[in-house]
Amino acid sequence: LAARFETDTPVNMSTAGKVIKCKAAVLWEANKPFSIEEVEVAPPKEHEVRIKIVATGICRSDDHVVTGALVMPFPIILGHEAAGVVESVGQGVTSVKPGDKVIPLFVPQCGECKNCLNTKGNLCSKTDLGTSAGLMPDGTTRFTCKGKAIYHFLGTSTFTEYTVVHESALAKIDSAAPLEKVCLIGCGFSTGYGAAVQTAKVEPGSSCAVFGLGGVGLSVVMGCKAAGASRIIAVDINKDKFAKAKELGATDCINPKDFKKPIQEVLMEMTGGGVDYSFEVIGRTDTMTAALASCQYNYGLSVIVGVPPAAQNITFDPMLLFTGRSWKGSVFGGWKSKDAVPKLVADYMKKKFVLDPLITHTLPWTKINEGFDLLRTGK
């Protein structure tokens, strides 16, 4: 779901080095609506970049903060899936200049930590994931509202007209890219598509099951299809999602509510012993275990893509793994963000994949609360 900010307004260079007053959607406390406020956005410090946000998507992970399933400090400016234009840069910034089109990265790529240096890793240690800090790397914030410091979200905070990110947390992209589409490469599309092609490395002719058909789940379906999977079984309790899943490559669509037995048994029967790859794209512990149990007992691979709920543990029969299954997690589709995002945008421009089917509604961003209602009702 993309919220559009007013687009094609030239970046005003006269604001460089000054505090910018603009509108932002502030979440003052959990389980309350967003409040459209005037905020002050400080100029970027050393190795930081201030961006004018042009388009931002709404992701379930933002809603997890609202509900308390993902614990973050308040007040906070959420949003982490966006595209925009560089307004000004701090000292020492060399990778971008004012006027460049960019995508903020909630998984940065510093290029120096253990994970960035390892070919298998992509979860930069500079990420705000799991630390709940809500601050810039120097331990301070760039947002104030009504005299109060406002926390950042995942180092991006895109529900605002202007934001500040660290240089390691943004990717310069093709200047011709339509920002209101490629904003989805900032999270939803890349997370799902990458889980299939990058984390699972789905093979041609294989069978896959995708649990959850939101924007990320549909992107997993696209990734499985692009990788050449011969059978892609889409699983969701909302049958309204099935038509789009089929349009994007699902071969079968099943609703767990239509069966008396557990969904893993249904998938076992449908595939003669389980799928080669399964993906949990919801963020529920019961579906994570079901997805694991639905893949082939000896060589199946199950990938956790949905953000797990806070303070919940999984209890499962270890025999599920003993027989040879693998269980993996995937953040941002396993991509090294700064390297991959410009390439994914280039692939989109070459029509290697579509993004339009993932955009269900386009709203002015002041209607952000309506956008979240649409998300929560599965629309």
pLDDT tens profile 65-82 = 999 888 899 999 999 999
Q: Are 309 and 283 in contact (CB under 8 A)?
A: yes
| Residue 128 confidence (pLDDT) | 72
| Residue 248 confidence (pLDDT) | 97
Which H helix or E strand runs over 277?
Answer: strand 277-280
Within 8 A by CB and 6+ apart from 80, the residues are 59, 61, 62, 104, 106, 153, 154, 156, 157, 158, 186, 187
Average pLDDT over the chain, rounded to an integer: 94
Give the mean pLDDT of 4-26: 76
Give the mean pLDDT of 287-299: 97
Give the mean pLDDT of 170-195: 97
Q: Are 219 and 358 in contact (CB under 8 A)?
A: yes
d(CA 329, CA 307): 10
Mapping DSSP to helix (H, G, I), strand (E, B) and coil, where does residue 226 land?
helix
Provide the pairing of β-strand 48-57 with 82-89. Answer: antiparallel
| Residue 211 confidence (pLDDT) | 98
Q: Does the structure show a pLDDT above 90 at 310? A: no
* Residue 12 confidence class, pLDDT cut points 50, 70, 90: low
d(CA 172, CA 96): 7
- Kindly report, residue by residue over 246-276, the tens digit of the pLDDT: 999 999 999 999 999 999 999 999 999 999 9
| Residue 166 confidence (pLDDT) | 95
| Residue 111 confidence (pLDDT) | 94
Region of 316 please: left (phi>0), alpha (psi -120 to 50) or beta: beta
| Residue 3 confidence (pLDDT) | 55
Model pTM score: 0.93
- Kindly report, residue by residue over 320-357, the tens digit of the pLDDT: 999 999 999 999 999 999 999 999 999 999 999 999 99
Q: Does the structure show a pLDDT above 60 at 9? A: no
Percentage of residues of the chain with pLDDT beyond 90: 87
Q: What residues pair up with 328 in beta bridges, in sequence order?
A: 303
* Residue 378 confidence class, pLDDT cut points 50, 70, 90: confident
Q: Are 193 and 225 in contact (CB under 8 A)?
A: no
| Residue 71 confidence (pLDDT) | 87
Nearest to 102 by CA among 54, 32, 151, 161: 54
Domains parsed from the chain with CATH numbers: 2-189+334-377 (3.90.180.10), 200-329 (3.40.50.720)
- Cβ atoms within 10 A of the Cβ of 195, count? 33
Measured between its terminal Cα atoms, the distance across the chain in Å is 10
| Residue 7 confidence (pLDDT) | 47
Catalytic residues: 59, 61, 64, 80, 187
For the ranges 13-27, 75-89, 141-155, the lowest mean pLDDT is seen at: 13-27
Cβ-count burial 105-131 (b if 16+ within 10 Å, e if not): bbbbbbeebebbeeeeebbbebbbbee
